[in-house]
Chain A
Amino acid sequence: MATLAKPLARPHAEEHEDPRQYLMHDPLPRGQMNAMVMEAMHETNPIFWAITGVLAAIVLFALGYEWYILIMQGQGTAGVLRPDYWGVFLVNTVFWIGISHAGTFISAILRVLKIESRRPFTRAAELMTTFGLVQAGLSIFMHLGRVWLVYWMFPIPNERRIWPDFHSPLMWDLMAITTYLLCSTMYLFLPLIPDLAMARDRTKGGWLKQFYKILSIGFRGTEGEWKNLTTAMNIFAFAIIPVMFSVHTIVSWDFAMASRPGWSSTVFGPYFVIGALHSGMAAVAIVLFLLRSSMKHYKYFIRAEQFNTIGTLMLLVSMAWAYFYFNDYLVPWYGGDVWDKLVQEYTEKGPLAYLWYTMLIVNIAVPWATLWNKKWRETPWLLAIVGLLINVGMYLERYIIIPVGVTINRMPFTWRQYEPRIEIPMTIGTFALFLLLYMVASRLIPLIPVWEVQEGQEAHMIRKIGKAEISTLSDME
């Protein structure tokens, strides 16, 4: 018998995917989903409280006692000295602002693009924005030293009868970070209102009932309320994207506007933005893994598809970061300016060269070697490890740019190797505070936007075309 086709592959098991493996095609009654989220919030165990206690103790020590020492004894307790006036506190600032970009990226850009797998984890990412910015703000205050003089940066004349200079990149930074913090907090709150109303309806009494009652601001879900809420959310989703880009661009200008070798670069703006997304996306992977592992019922909401989405974005962002890094590296290398050359040589061959090589391996090689594979992307623990490594790499990148970069200047007699001192416990303090805030929030507010999940499930259906069941999406918004 004649063969009419070229040899055909036998169907593999994975070709017959069950659409019900996706959250949008595996709906549960809304009441049941509400109950699951509320149960996850209110069921704690001794380990949770033990970790919370340890974190609170670290925060008290690092951000209470150590900061007190820093304020009372001055910046001399830190490792900053000429020429390294910018040390780990600013590394932390840039790092935490980077982390904060994930929330907006996930929540705003994926919302605008209608990426459906975003639905269950937008809030987890938005919380990272707010809590990340809190750490960034605190780190600036640590760097400031005399924190009680912060009002000199506010647009009011101070006792020296001068106003702040709005022509300075540092003032742009203040305005951009303040705008971003305020707007992202409002953007966190808006979609939270219906879930707070749900929590209010399901809480019987006590202070929690009052807490939800106050925060849900009397929301019922009338047509007018939904219209106003969704309109405001749409405005935020579009408007916060350029603000997000502006924030890290302006952070990069703190460096790029200075005529320093290694810093004065026209590509620093987009390079910093993509770096922020690189660390932010990686942090989302870690948070999702932790939430899925520790919160009851979260395996229903956070599935392989969510990790696949994050993993794919991490791979793309890693490629973009490599592209920008190479751009930023090649031009000064080719230009041959003696000071730029010195910076590059110090970075690659100096005593801290291992940081540079580690950064390149974990920021580029590791994600490229792992995230191309869908099965690996869908493995939560693996993605979390890759995310952790990327964050180590991105922290090193900021360390190389700031204290290492500032070491090599046009006055070789000032060169010295920066060694952080009190900065180390205080840095640990910011990480502890971030985790602590997240853990407290996980017991107080629904981390899963249940109404958004239900809205998505209402819009999805499975349609049989030929022999296959195909996922279809109706535009109900």
Chain B
Amino acid sequence: MSEAITLLAMFKDIEPASEGIEKLQQLGLSDDDMNVISGIPVKHTILGRPSAITYVSRIGLFGAILGMFLGIFFIYGIPYLYPLLVGGQPIFPVPQGFIITFEMTMLGLMGFSFIGMFIDSGFPSYTPKEYTPEVSDGRIALLFSCPASEQEKFIDALKDAGAESVAPAEARHL
């Protein structure tokens, strides 16, 4: 198998970019070998791509459960360790329990969703990456790797689809 090369194709709009993706798929390129970089989120069905997998919700759910138990500990565990009778109220009340448990559950859910977004995306990352600043100005970049010996075939196909440029991708400091 010949050496692989990573190319970056630039498109002005979503329409030609989705055409380009289709061309690459027709040429036998796997969906795992390409990535779309854009300045706005573009639904996977618009691009004709499978949906990206995310673990953010699951990590968030884990955080919510953790937060819930922490809340339960605060409201029931602490009075168990250090009972403090105030105003004749019970040491282990149910209604008040909901308040702290709710707050801690929500803090856990959102805190872990936030952390999950970092973990799942590999943030923060300051190592060189294939990127071009034109993306934040509205261009759509299609990043893909293909056999170096066949790159001309891929470049021609993408230019036919409307790519403004197709060039070897350079990893650079962002």
Contacts and interface: CB of A to CB of B under 8 A. Distances in A.
Interface in A210-249: 213-214, 216-232, 235-236, 239-240, 242-243, 246
B99 A186 contact: no
Interface string B57-94: 10010000000000000110011011010100100010
Nearest to A162: B82
Given A186-B110, A218-B124, A454-B39, A223 B117 contact: no
A308 to B, nearest CB: 25
Given A163-B81, A166-B74, A186-B114, A172 B46 contact: no
Contacts of B99: 172, 175-176, 246, 250
A35 B132 CA distance: 17
Given A225-B121, A455-B41, A220 B135 contact: yes
Contacts of B100: 166, 171-172, 175
A240 B36 CA distance: 31
Tell which of A155, A232, A250 has the most Cβ of chain B within 10 Å: A232
A31 interface: yes
A454 B40 contact: yes
Given A222-B36, A231-B56, A183 B107 contact: yes
A451 B79 CA distance: 49
A225 B42 CA distance: 11
Given A198-B39, A230-B41, A246 B102 contact: yes
Nearest to B52: A227
- Give the 3 A-B residue pairs with the shortest CB-CB distance, closest first: A30-B138, A201-B133, A218-B125
Interface of A: 29-31, 34, 155, 157, 161-168, 171-172, 175-176, 178-179, 182-183, 186-187, 189-190, 194, 197-198, 200-202, 213-214, 216-232, 235-236, 239-240, 242-243, 246, 250, 451, 454-455, 458, 476-477
A175 B56 CA distance: 24
Interface in B22-47: 35-44, 46-47
Nearest to B107: A179
B138 A31 contact: yes
B136 interface: yes
Contacts of A217: 118, 123-125
A34 B136 contact: yes
Interface centre among A29, A157, A214, A225 (most CB of B within 10 A): A225
A165 B125 CA distance: 42
Interface string B101-143: 0111011011101101110111111110101010111100001
The secondary-structure label for the interface of chain A is: helix
B159 interface: no
Given A213-B174, A220-B129, A235-B110, A190 B37 contact: no
B54 interface: yes
Contact of A232 (B56, B78, B89, B135): B56
A62 B161 CA distance: 64
B96 interface: yes
Contacts of A236: 110, 113-114
Contacts of B103: 172, 175-176, 179, 243, 246
17 contacts: A29-B137, A30-B136, A31-B138, A161-B82, A165-B84, A175-B104, A186-B110, A222-B35, A222-B37, A223-B52, A224-B53, A227-B41, A227-B53, A235-B110, A236-B113, A476-B42, A477-B41
| Most interface-central of A189, A216, A217 (chain B CB within 10 A) | A217
Given A220-B37, A230-B41, A454 B129 contact: no
B117 A190 contact: yes
A356 to B, nearest CB: 32
A235 B127 CA distance: 29
B126 A218 contact: yes
Nearest to B40: A455
A179 B4 CA distance: 49
Given A214-B126, A236-B114, 18 more contacts: A30-B138, A155-B78, A163-B84, A166-B74, A202-B133, A218-B174, A221-B135, A226-B38, A228-B56, A228-B117, A229-B41, A230-B41, A231-B57, A235-B60, A240-B110, A454-B40, A454-B138, A476-B43
Interface size class of B (residues with CB under 8 A): 35 or more
A193 to B, nearest CB: 8
Given A163-B81, A201-B136, A232-B114, A183 B106 contact: yes
B2 interface: no
A157 to B, nearest CB: 7
A243 B106 contact: yes
A231 B84 CA distance: 42
A30 B137 contact: yes
A202 B133 CA distance: 8
A222 B169 CA distance: 14
A218 B123 contact: yes
A158 B51 CA distance: 51
Nearest to A165: B84
B135 to A, nearest CB: 6
Contacts of A166: 74-75, 78-79, 96, 100
Contacts of A240: 106, 110
A225 B86 CA distance: 50
